[in-house]
Chain A
Amino acid sequence: MTLDCRQVRGRVLASRRSDDVHLEAHLEACRSCADFAVRMEHVRSGLEAHHAAAEPDPGFAVRLRARLEGGDGATLDTMARWALGMLPAAIAIAAALTWFAAREGALAPTAWDPEPTAGDATLEWILADEAETP
C-alpha cells in the first residue's frame, strides 16, 4: 500500500511517528513530507513545553474571598452595613462639593458663555449679516 502526501501528513498530524512502515517508506522518499514531519515534531515538543510554571501566591485565596464577598457572595445584610458605614463620608463629600461649586460659580465667569471679542470671526459675520438686512 502506498500513501500519498495528503494521507501521510494526516497521519503525522494524528499521531507520533511509529512503526508504520508505509508512512516511514513515504518519508524516506519524500523530502517535503519528511520536513513536514520534523516541523510537526517541533510543534508537539513545543506545545508540551508550553506551560506557565505559575504557582498560586499566598494572597490568592484572600483575593478570591474578597471577590466572593464583594460580588456574588455579598448578602444584603453585609451590603447594607457597608452602605450605612459609608453614609457620613458620602454626605460630607457631597456637602463639600456643593459648597465649592457654589463658591466657584459666584466668583468665576461662566466658561460656556464667553464675552464676544472683536476678533471673533463668527460674531463679525453675524453682525455684518444683520447690518445688511433691511
Chain B
Amino acid sequence: MQLLPKIFKQSDNTLQRDDEQLIRYEAQIGGRLFGALPKGHRREFFCLDEHTWVWHEEWVDGKGKRQVATTRYDIRPSGILKAQGSQYQPLSTEETINLYKAIELYEQQVNAAYDKMLVAV
C-alpha cells in the first residue's frame, strides 16, 4: 500500500497510463538488480513487452557531458538480438546467460512487489 503513492501520482490514469507507470516502477526495480550505482548514474532495466527487454543507462562523463546508452534485447525464435542505436548483433554466450539471470531476478522481485500490493486488496 505504501508503494502506491510512489508509483501513482495521479488518480485519473487510463489503462495505458497505468501500464506505463507500472513499467516505470519495474524499471526502477530492474535498475537496482545489478548493485549500487556511482553518483550521477541512472540505470533502468525493464520488460517492455513479451518480446522486448530494455537496458537504459544515463551518466555524466568526466567533461560534465550527459551520456545516454540504451540497449534493446529482441527476443526472437531464432535467438536474442541486441540493438544499440541502429545496430543489431547477436548476443554472446556469456551475455545471454547474464541477461537470462537478470530476467529471472527481475521476475522474482517484480512479482514479489506486485504480490504485496495484491495481498493488500
| Pair from one complex | no
Q: Which residues of chain A have a CB within 8 Å of any CB of chain B?
A: none
Q: Which residues of chain B have a CB within 8 Å of any CB of chain A?
A: none
